[in-house]
Structure 1
């Protein structure tokens, strides 16, 4: 079937390939196209914001700000999450159980209005027109989607982006390599005792929505309640992954915790200074610096044989 129709996962022993929708099988051509689109600001109304504007590789595809404003400078509501191993996640947003696939989730930043991020609401057809004017994109879409003649529209944009995002795989931390120092090892034991009920599994998240502390109806962001209308869901947010956590601050769903010490304290557990230091050493051991420098995930330098 050719290189454009195949994809070979590179995964460590014991890690199974992530689920992939039947209507969007992985191919090298889709991943290549999705990578270019991920870094292309033409996905925003004024050409100033790409996916990578908020999801920055050196921050493990998170951000370094509390919340990122969109193209209209409307303040963001929630902190930008890291994307390491996002292919295994569902749901994908902090408080939206309907966002179950990367293909679906792509519409939120592009077309969302609460808040406005990339500002393309009501302009879906413009996406096809913009990329359709580029002869290289014409070639790349044709290679990625031969079954529909290389159609250039948001549906195929989302499928390509999702394919690239499924390659954001991070398994190179000291924890993965079983190279924890003494303090991190002690922190690992504390973590298993106090934190692993929610931050569980190899990605350190149960992918379930929880509330820490009492509900506060006065808060502007009511979390899961905004989607369900169920009073018991006020203030519930999905457990974030802790992979690369030391690189993705500030923390919390609204980015309001500026240090890991503060983020730990908010969980209501009683830890002395020595325990906190050990927990932070363990969290630091979840960083994968190779992931943050991997060239195949960076902004592409060329396309169709020409420099970008």
Structure 2
């Protein structure tokens, strides 16, 4: 908790502003300019962009290079892209990745598509409202170590960029109102540029989107049936996975701050000891609040490109989409042996939405087919998001 507040407060001081701003675009030209920068189709709402870090092409370009550059890890072995691969919708296909120092992480890597539309960032963090806050954790935290840029090594990491003429040019273009002294490259600017790039990762060209826009041949009859089941009271998927981003954790540029929702749910994945606990290494929101009723609370993920981002759940413990649906059909999962043994179906902390249901194989197949229609082939091959260093070779 101390490390968390130190990181957030430090970034707030550097930026000289508070993290409660929310951009609302009343000027048509400004809105259209943002749509152009994001390559945002008309059926997608304008995302919320914080006033203290306005989006520019120069910051997006710089952020793209930083995202793929291993110089941003303490030992220069990993980049952001090491755990967020474009072909996997910016997840990595692993149960849980290793950090740059070889430390085994406990959290499954999230896909980053449409992350700009979440009301809170990370699976269990109720206080990270902006990417500028969240990015500090994988870059700078020391428990667990991901990129490992602790205070002790920060000067060395910054020097790598300060001594690179190409980065000097990109930083000066991205932040033109600051000194052009090469030593003025800071971690704060790195984070602002990375946040700008990640905000452009909009996925909105799936067969489902085409169907919504009037192409009734874009979905098969099986997928349409799956869509109906997904939004019906039997499967009840829509309660947690709703709206344009298929998550109840949502905001856009027109969402009033006092109307923001911060949903977290215990879905009965574990019931260690019979009191609703999750494995000690990751108990979700409880690890931050120490409120016993918060054990196992995690934020609903977006389901866009979900067929590409397995394995599933916060710990990657369910290998397939079929396994996920079967988990909810049971009303929870049962761990028979080991230190995490328990019956999640009877967890006292499980959400009342997870009741279980009877489903035929045909119905499960239909819902899986619908979820597969959320795969956006354009997104995973878009050169706007690809590795710029590969292009230079």
Shorter-chain TM-score range: over 0.9
Q: CA deviation at 1:256?
A: 0.8
Residue in 2 that maps onto 1:119 = 148
1:57 aligns with 2:90: no
Contact residue 86 and residue 166 of structure 1 kept, 8 A: yes
Aligned partners of 2:111, 2:63: CA distance in 1, in Å?
18
Contact residue 224 and residue 233 of structure 1 kept, 8 A: yes
TM-score of the two chains, using structure 1 as the length reference:
0.93
Which one of 171, 180, 193 corresponds to residue 160 of structure 1? 193
Matches within 5 A, 1:12-27: 12-27=41-56
Residue in 2 that maps onto 1:233 = 294
Contact residue 125 and residue 153 of structure 1 kept, 8 A: no
Matches within 5 A, 1:1-308: 8-9=36-37, 10-122=39-151, 123-150=153-180, 151-178=184-211, 179-193=218-232, 194-207=236-249, 208-213=263-268, 214=271, 215-216=276-277, 219-267=280-328, 268=331, 269-270=356-357, 271-301=359-389, 307=392
Aligned partners of 2:244, 2:171: CA distance in 1, in Å?
35
Over residues 205-238 of structure 1, what are the superposed CA-to-partner deviations in whole Å (9 max), with x where a residue is unaligned? 1122100125225543110001111111100001
Aligned partners of 2:302, 2:377: CA distance in 1, in Å?
17
Aligned partners of 2:74, 2:241: CA distance in 1, in Å?
37
Contact residue 73 and residue 79 of structure 2 kept, 8 A: yes
Contact residue 59 and residue 247 of structure 1 kept, 8 A: yes
Are the structure 2 counterparts of residues 218 and 282 from structure 1 closer, same or farther at C-alpha, using a change threshold of 3 Å?
closer
Are the structure 2 counterparts of residues 168 and 217 from structure 1 closer, same or farther at C-alpha, using a change threshold of 3 Å?
closer
Aligned partners of 2:160, 2:89: CA distance in 1, in Å?
29
Contact residue 41 and residue 47 of structure 1 kept, 8 A: yes
Q: CA deviation at 1:251?
A: 0.7
SS in 2 for 1:158: helix
Aligned partners of 1:69, 1:301: CA distance in 2, in Å?
23
SS in 1 for 2:362: helix
Q: CA deviation at 1:302?
A: 7.8
Q: CA deviation at 1:134?
A: 0.1
Q: After the TM superposition, which parts of structure 1 deviate over 6 Å for at least 4 consecutive aligned residues?
A: none
Contact residue 56 and residue 174 of structure 2 kept, 8 A: yes
Contact residue 120 and residue 128 of structure 2 kept, 8 A: yes
Contact residue 106 and residue 281 of structure 2 kept, 8 A: no
Q: CA deviation at 1:98?
A: 1.7
Contact residue 44 and residue 204 of structure 2 kept, 8 A: no
Output the aligned Cα RMSD.
Answer: 1.6
TM-score of the two chains, using structure 2 as the length reference:
0.74
Are the structure 2 counterparts of residues 81 and 218 from structure 1 closer, same or farther at C-alpha, using a change threshold of 3 Å?
closer
Are the structure 2 counterparts of residues 192 and 36 from structure 1 closer, same or farther at C-alpha, using a change threshold of 3 Å?
same
Q: CA deviation at 1:100?
A: 1.3
Whichever of the two has the greater Rg, that structure is 2
Residue in 2 that maps onto 1:3 = none
